[in-house]
Amino acid sequence: MAKAVVIYVRGLGQNTLKWALKRKFLPYLKSTINEGTIKRVKPFLPLDHWVNELSFLRGDNPGVFSYSGYTGWNWEEMRPENSGIERIERLFFRDIFSNRVYPIGDFKHRIFTIGFEQTFTPNSMGINSVSIPPVRFLNGYGEPVLFTTQEEVLEVNDTGKIVPIKVAGNRVKTVLEGMMGTKSHLLFEVRENNLIMLRTDRDEVEVRKGEVSRPIEILFKNRLLRRIRGYYQFYVRSVTPHLIVSASPLSVQLESQFVKHTRPGGVFAKLERDAGPIILRNPYAILNSFISGWIDRRAMLRLLEWDIMGLTQILMRSTSWNSEDVIVVMFPHLDIAYHCMGGDGILWAVRELDWIIGWLNHIYGIRPFVVGDFSMSRVRKVVDLNRYFLSRGIINLKNIDRVPYAGIHNFWDDVDWDNTIAFSLGGGRVFVNRKNSQFKDGAIKREMEDKIISVVNGLNRIYGGGVKRVVRKYEIYSGELFHEMPDLLVCFGGGLFNGYMDFTDLNNRIFNEKDAVQYEHLSQDNERNDGVMLSPVKTSKDAISIDRVMEDIMSLLE
């Protein structure tokens, strides 16, 4: 049983994962899997495992795990042993991407983009060749519409006849982008539900041929279309036959940061190669879909619920936990739900978080932390998670009369830690509006120090000490601390600060002052000073949320 679960309320953090796997993180992860200490590591989970392993929970909490009341799924039909994964996929896309969920309108004349994962070569760490995998395009019910091979592209012409498009040598005209471009895609026009390949929105590029490893099937619905700069685009990523890995509509801005990790040699391609198939859904792509008017609020919540199932599934399948593990799970839906449904959306997300906490405590006896990082600008709303936990009995106090609400300075001393299931670190507040909170260098440094101390104190109070060291994430990703890592690695998001700041004095505040007896002294005898170093971040018109310091901290328990 895990010692603690930290539910990290943040986004997906793809860029940080990229650097983690690009360095020495992946070899360590691979060796850990081979040694059997981790059965399988997946940021999110493939559809077949999700259905197979979560379907039995429908009786435990039908409101969360059974979609029968929403989309009409038949769980018995969806079990792989009864119907096969192809049937499951078609049911999934038929219901999720249906007219009643995505009311787009007339589709007789639409243009959109379909992207697909290219086959990576043995030299995947430094890609110098790209192969074109055969891709079979299906409509929402599995009927083939278009088929491509490495040598030619077949299209459905105006008369409905399938004809080849000639390819000259190593030049694949109007089909692929550059080898290390943002993505490879085809551009089609929908005419009476037929796909007509038109062109790409970039010039033709040279592509070196390589060996094709396996076919890739893509299921889609031409209803998922949106006009972006004159084009309707729909991005689909698949990495294994008969397995939908991601179907997230992306804007141009989201594509630039999302697709770079799915190209040949991308971070998730490497993880899939070494750790098994993964499923990846960018929650902010879902948010963008709602803001852009692609989907309604009901559809948004369904997709977010689906992600929550993936998060809980990660915990369920990790049977090799030991008593020293600290598991961090990201819960990125609170701010997304706000954009979806306003205050009601936040209440929905907090209730889902409440359910996950109760489930962890009931099944595993785990008391999770909830580490928040919220910086929704232009929104004047504050949610106090600890106050909500108090009202739900998740947090219990020694003297409830003395502390009428959570979040005040003496709150730590009044918490009955023995009977508290979960606690939100960092003051327990979700600061939605940080727009006018510009800090000078000295102030922002002190604010960040306070947040770090809040995390360290929280861990030590609940577990009676044990925080061995506070390090910056680069030390972890570079492989310098692999011998100290727990069995299950911790993932971080982005959120970097301007410049590199030396927080050596922070260590003195935590380990040398009033807590010197309780906490182990943080050594400062090497050239890095063993200080907490925070990485730089881009500046923007909106203020940077101080809470983002959480994502640069990793607490290693003894």
Answer yes or no: is pLDDT of 187 > 60.
Answer: no
Q: How many residues does the chain have?
A: 558
Tens-place pLDDT, residues 95-154: 333 222 222 222 222 222 222 222 222 222 222 222 222 233 333 333 333 333 333 334
The pLDDT assigned to 451 comes to 54
The pLDDT assigned to 154 comes to 40
Answer yes or no: is pLDDT of 88 > 50.
Answer: no
Entry pTM: 0.32
Answer yes or no: is pLDDT of 267 > 60.
Answer: no
Give the least confident one: 229-233, 282-286, 401-405, 424-428. 229-233
Stretch 252-273: mean pLDDT = 33
The 8 Å CB, 24+ separation contacts for 225-229 are 225/104, 225/107, 225/110, 225/112, 225/190, 226/292, 226/293, 226/294, 228/252
Q: How far apart are the C-alpha atoms of 62 and 73, rounded to whole Å?
A: 12
Q: How far apart are the C-alpha atoms of 547 and 336, rounded to whole Å?
A: 17
> CA nearest 333: which of 7, 96, 47?
7
Q: How far apart are the C-alpha atoms of 551 and 371, rounded to whole Å?
A: 9
Tens-place pLDDT, residues 481-528: 333 333 222 222 222 222 223 334 444 554 444 433 232 222 222 222
The average confidence (pLDDT) of the chain is: 37
Stretch 60-76: mean pLDDT = 26
Stretch 21-29: mean pLDDT = 36
Across 341-416, the runs of DSSP E, i.e. the strands, are: 369-372, 382-384
The pLDDT assigned to 361 comes to 66
Q: How far apart are the C-alpha atoms of 258 and 21, rounded to whole Å?
A: 16
3-state secondary structure of 348: helix
The pLDDT assigned to 355 comes to 65
Reading phi first (left if > 0) and then psi (alpha if -120 to 50, else beta), residue 262 is in alpha
The pLDDT assigned to 397 comes to 77
Stretch 17-43: mean pLDDT = 34
Answer yes or no: is pLDDT of 278 > 50.
Answer: no
Tens-place pLDDT, residues 406-423: 444 456 567 776 777 766
Domain range summary for the chain, segments of one domain joined by +? 4-39+318-557, 104-285
Q: How far apart are the C-alpha atoms of 495 and 498, rounded to whole Å?
A: 10
Tens-place pLDDT, residues 356-396: 666 666 655 666 655 543 333 222 334 556 666 777 777 77
Which of the listed ranges 3-7, 42-46, 185-189, 318-322 does the model predict with the highest average pLDDT? 3-7
